[in-house]
Amino acid sequence: MRGDRACALAAIGLASVYAWLGGAIQESLLSDAVGAQGVPRALAAALALLGALLLLRSFRSRASAPTAPEPWRAHGRALAMLGIAAGYLLLLPLLGYAAAISALVAAAASLGGARPSAGLAAVSVAAGAVLWLSFAKAFGVALPVGALWRHVL
Amino acid sequence: MHELAIAWSALTSTWAVPAAAVGVVWGIFGGALPGISPSIAMALLLPFTYGLDPVTAVVLLASTYVGAEYGGSIPAILIRTPGTNSAAATTIDGYEMNRRGEAGLALGISLVSGLVGGLFGLGMLVLLTEPLARVALAFTPPAYFALGILGLSAIAGLSGSSLLKGLIAATVGVMIATVGTDPVSGVARFTFGTAELLTGIRPIVAMVGLFAVSEVLAQVSEPAWQKVDARETRLKLPGWALSKRLLRPQAIGCAIGTVEGVTPGAGGTVAAFLAYNEAKRWSKAPDEFGRGSPEGVAAPEAANNVVTGTALVPLLSLGIPGSNSAAILLGGLLIHGLTPGPLLFERNPDVAYGLYAGLLVANVFMLLIGLVILTPCIWLVNRPKPYLMACVLALVLSGIYAIEQSVLDVAMTLGFGVLGYLMRRLDVPFLPMVLGIVLGGMVESSYRRSLVLSGGDHMIFLEDPVSLGLLICSLVLVAYSLRRDARRAPAAEAAP
């Protein structure tokens, strides 16, 4: 039931923010009868109503046996993985795609329990090389070269 | 008979057969990489078609389309990452089968159902082009609105244990679809002054985040995530008994894919979700859906592969490209000075019938190449989990970046990953959200265009016969789902 209440409150909160942002949409002279704000307004109202119904249901339904909360350590590992992905985005313009993606593979695998070894290094470099060849060479995607290498080379 | 002779001659007197093989391999490779859509894989080959004869050129492009639509299901089943938008529905039960240790069978079902769908779609293209073209022409803005509502009616079946939570997820999905430019006035909405958001949030960005990134986050948060399960290590085609059971979902997928394919703008994604929902509704074991049902793999795979044939109906019969991929094929025809439409069959029958024959060969190659490459793919995903998940994260971040070379897209994918992770914890289904994102734009734009046409009169939705029929279908399907759920709820409570 705690999950339902959290979901309902999140829905009501999101509906409020969405309605507030929707109110700031400019209306155009070309607009139709519904207008650019019309659908967002209806969606915000629908979401708020659904959230309220879920909240009501969570209070009316029988309380179930409380479930053990998940240890924060578990969420911490997910957060750390997210941090690695964010770090990759920050390093991308500096190190370039090939080096940054290899670093991402090494860091993410280490977080999962892979021990620092020649194997880990080999997998990271190989994954980076395969992805770079697939996207940059086969499909011609322009991937960042890296500001660092431009200065070095 | 005369047409068969033309098709045979077109195949044997050109490089069309090797081109079909190359196209299928290229398409599977592109389709399996998230971010490389079928149309991108085709567009990248377009410059190479300049020097080819017309038959080889169109067969190369069409085979790439066939391969890419199939290729999207491979990562969907193996790593919960839909390679293409239309493979999202396959992720639901395909990945659950994989988790149960049946990756080989899931891939086998996907391959066989893809072949069945591809051949059925080709049959429809060859035999029923004219009547199907009339279906495409019958779709007015009110009919598109009703088609979107019919798609959204699947929410009732995809919401799992709580319809209320499913409706919340779907509403948030439609809200996400409102980001970008207003479809009538062109005013920017929820873009926060960012030019990159003017085109809206791409469904693939949301799907990859919700399915793949959230899976990586969920896996890493499990204490024993580095353990490798004992799994199937080889491709396994469905046996006779299972094949008989899959006939019904495949037939449902073929029927829905045919109608959705010929409707410009609808496409394989809507077809796959609708087919999944209907297969669940008509199944003898609907409770297996979402827990690794073979029928849940067969129906969407048949549906999105039928579309590879039927999506060419408006192009070949009317000269209208109904999808991005058909538009690239149109480009391939125009490069060679060919005019698509009815005149193509009169002036260049070798190209038209050669394309039909090329599609048949492409579907056969899809089966043969699938048989060769799928076992190594299974081996690849059975590597130790820390390495596998790290590579999945690297693949999805690279794929999303490849679409527009946009860091914002990658950041949004991570944001959707966090959202998916939280939704799992709160037991909120994210399939209705995906459906809302895919259909939200179509529903809003066709609703408002209809009202512009009618001067604000809502009766237009009931006066248009196609719209009326589809709206009645939606009502019936929702009522059926609600009645079934209401019957099941007391039974579930009574169970020990």
Per-residue pLDDT of chain B (496 residues; tens, 9 = 90+): 677 777 787 777 788 899 999 999 988 988 888 767 788 888 878 878 878 888 999 999 999 999 988 888 998 898 888 888 888 889 989 999 988 889 899 999 999 999 999 999 999 888 877 676 677 677 788 988 888 888 888 776 677 677 888 889 999 999 999 999 998 888 999 999 888 899 899 888 898 899 889 988 988 887 655 454 555 678 889 999 999 999 999 999 999 988 888 776 667 788 898 899 889 888 888 888 888 999 999 999 999 899 888 888 878 877 777 677 888 888 888 888 887 777 777 788 888 888 889 999 999 999 999 898 888 888 777 778 888 889 989 988 998 898 888 899 999 999 999 999 999 888 888 888 988 898 888 889 999 999 988 888 889 999 999 899 989 988 887 887 777 666 665 655 554 4
Check B171 against A47: CB less than 8 A apart.
Answer: yes
Q: CB pairs under 8 A, 24+ apart, for B378-383?
A: B378/B78, B378/B103, B378/B104, B378/B107, B378/B231, B378/B232, B378/B233, B378/B234, B378/B235, B379/B233, B380/B78, B381/B78, B381/B79, B381/B98, B381/B103, B382/B228, B382/B231, B382/B233, B383/B228
List of chain A residues whose C-beta atoms are within 8 Å of the C-beta of residue B405: 141-143
Residue B134, chain A, CB below 8 Å: the answer is no
CB A82 within 8 A of CB B414: yes
- Give the mutation candidate from B181, B187, B424, B457 for the A interface (greatest A CB count, under 10 A): B187
Most distant CA pair in chain B: distance in Å? 70
The CA distance from B158 to B300, in Å, is 14
Write the CB contacts of B457 (distance below 8 Å, at least 6 apart in sequence).
B451
- For B444, half-sphere exposure in the C-beta direction (CA atoms, 13 angstrom radius) is 31
CA distance B140 to chain A (A): 18
- Give the mutation candidate from B387, B405, B410 for the A interface (greatest A CB count, under 10 A): B387
Q: How many domains does chain B have?
A: 1
The CA distance from B108 to B113, in Å, is 8
* ipTM exceeding cut-off 0.95 for this assembly: no
Closest Cα in chain A to B383: A123
Restricting to B residues 196-215, those with a Cβ less than 8 Å away from any Cβ of A are: 213
Closest Cα in chain B to A17: B190
By Cβ distance, the residue of B40, B165, B182 closest to A7 is B165
Closest Cα partner for B189 from A14, A117, A37? A37
Check A74 against B40: CB less than 8 A apart.
Answer: no
Q: How far, in Å, are A105, B239, B323, B370, B389 from residue A122 at the CA level?
A: 11, 40, 42, 29, 16
Check B175 against A18: CB less than 8 A apart.
Answer: yes
Closest Cα in chain B to A139: B44
Q: How far, in Å, are A32, A143, B201, B225 from residue A89 at the CA level?
A: 41, 13, 19, 25
Q: Which helix (H) or strand (E) holds B189?
A: strand B188-189
CB B164 within 8 A of CB B485: no
**Residue of A54 and A148 predicted with greater confidence:** A54
- pLDDT at site B243: 93
Check A111 against B386: CB less than 8 A apart.
Answer: yes
- Give the mutation candidate from A43, A59, A110 for the B interface (greatest B CB count, under 10 A): A43
The CA distance from A39 to B31, in Å, is 34
* Helices B214-221 and B385-404, packing angle to 10 deg: 160
Residue B282, chain A, CB below 8 Å: the answer is no
By Cβ distance, the residue of B189, B390, B402 closest to A108 is B390
Check A101 against B447: CB less than 8 A apart.
Answer: no
Collapsed DSSP state (helix, strand, coil) of residue B181 = strand
CA distance B459 to chain A (A): 15
Restricting to B residues 375-394, those with a Cβ less than 8 Å away from any Cβ of A are: 384-387, 389-391, 393-394
The CA distance from A99 to B415, in Å, is 24
Check B221 against A92: CB less than 8 A apart.
Answer: no
Check B387 against A123: CB less than 8 A apart.
Answer: yes
The CA distance from B31 to B36, in Å, is 6
Write the CB contacts of B33 (distance below 8 Å, at least 6 apart in sequence).
A134, A135, A139, B83, B395, B399, B402
The CA distance from A8 to A5, in Å, is 5
By Cβ distance, the residue of A25, A57, A131 closest to B394 is A131
CB atoms under 10 Å from CB of B263, counted, come to 25
Residue B33, chain A, CB below 8 Å: the answer is yes
| Burial classification of residue B96, based on how many CB atoms lie within 10 Å of its CB (0-12 exposed, 13-18 middle, 19 or more buried) | buried
What is the helix, strand, coil percentage profile of chain B, to 5? 75, 0, 20
Residue B58's domain comprises 2-488
Check B421 against A114: CB less than 8 A apart.
Answer: no
Domain boundaries, chain A: 2-60, 82-152
For B328-344, what is each residue's pLDDT tens digit? 888 888 888 887 777 77
Restricting to B residues 35-74, those with a Cβ less than 8 Å away from any Cβ of A are: 36, 40-41, 44
Check B225 against A27: CB less than 8 A apart.
Answer: no
Most distant CA pair in chain A: distance in Å? 68
H helices present in B283-384, as ranges: 294-310, 313-318, 324-335, 342-347, 349-381
By Cβ distance, the residue of A21, A54, A97 closest to B190 is A21
Check B448 against A34: CB less than 8 A apart.
Answer: yes
Q: Is the pLDDT of residue A101 over 90?
A: yes
CA distance A50 to chain B (A): 6
Check A30 against B164: CB less than 8 A apart.
Answer: no
Residue B494, domain member (yes or no): no
The CA distance from B102 to B381, in Å, is 13
Q: Is A96 left (phi over 0), alpha (psi -120 to 50) or beta?
A: left
Instruction: Give residue B483's identity as a one-letter amino acid code.
Output: R
By Cβ distance, the residue of A97, A107, A139 closest to B36 is A139
CB B387 within 8 A of CB B85: no
Collapsed DSSP state (helix, strand, coil) of residue B15 = coil
Closest Cα in chain B to A6: B426
Mean pLDDT of chain A: 87
Closest Cα partner for B399 from B191, B207, B173? B207
Residue B159, domain member (yes or no): yes
- pLDDT at site B32: 84
Residue B181, chain A, CB below 8 Å: the answer is no
- How large is the average pLDDT for residues A1-7? 81
- Give the mutation candidate from A5, A81, A84, A110 for the B interface (greatest B CB count, under 10 A): A81
The first and second tokens of residue B6, run together, are 């033309």
The CA distance from B351 to B58, in Å, is 8
The first and second tokens of residue B380, run together, are 């690849």
CB A93 within 8 A of CB B415: no
The CA distance from B64 to B26, in Å, is 6
The first and second tokens of residue A72, run together, are 């924060």
Q: Is the pLDDT of residue A71 over 70?
A: no
> How many residues in chain A?
153
CB A106 within 8 A of CB A121: yes
Closest Cα partner for A84 from B228, B213, B447, B8? B213
Q: Which residues pair with B181 in a beta bridge?
A: B188
List of chain B residues whose C-beta atoms are within 8 Å of the C-beta of residue A69: none
| Burial classification of residue B194, based on how many CB atoms lie within 10 Å of its CB (0-12 exposed, 13-18 middle, 19 or more buried) | exposed
- Give the mutation candidate from B164, B179, B410 for the A interface (greatest A CB count, under 10 A): B164
The CA distance from B463 to B469, in Å, is 10
List of chain B residues whose C-beta atoms are within 8 Å of the C-beta of residue A101: 394, 397-398
Check B182 against A78: CB less than 8 A apart.
Answer: no
Write the CB contacts of B257 (distance below 8 Å, at least 6 apart in sequence).
B117, B120, B121, B268, B271, B275, B302, B303, B304, B305, B306, B307, B310
The CA distance from A78 to B149, in Å, is 37
For A12-42, what is each residue's pLDDT tens digit? 999 999 999 998 888 887 778 888 888 999 9
Check B414 against A82: CB less than 8 A apart.
Answer: yes
- pLDDT at site B226: 47
CB atoms under 10 Å from CB of B393, counted, come to 28
Place of tokens 């009732």: B156
- pLDDT at site B496: 44
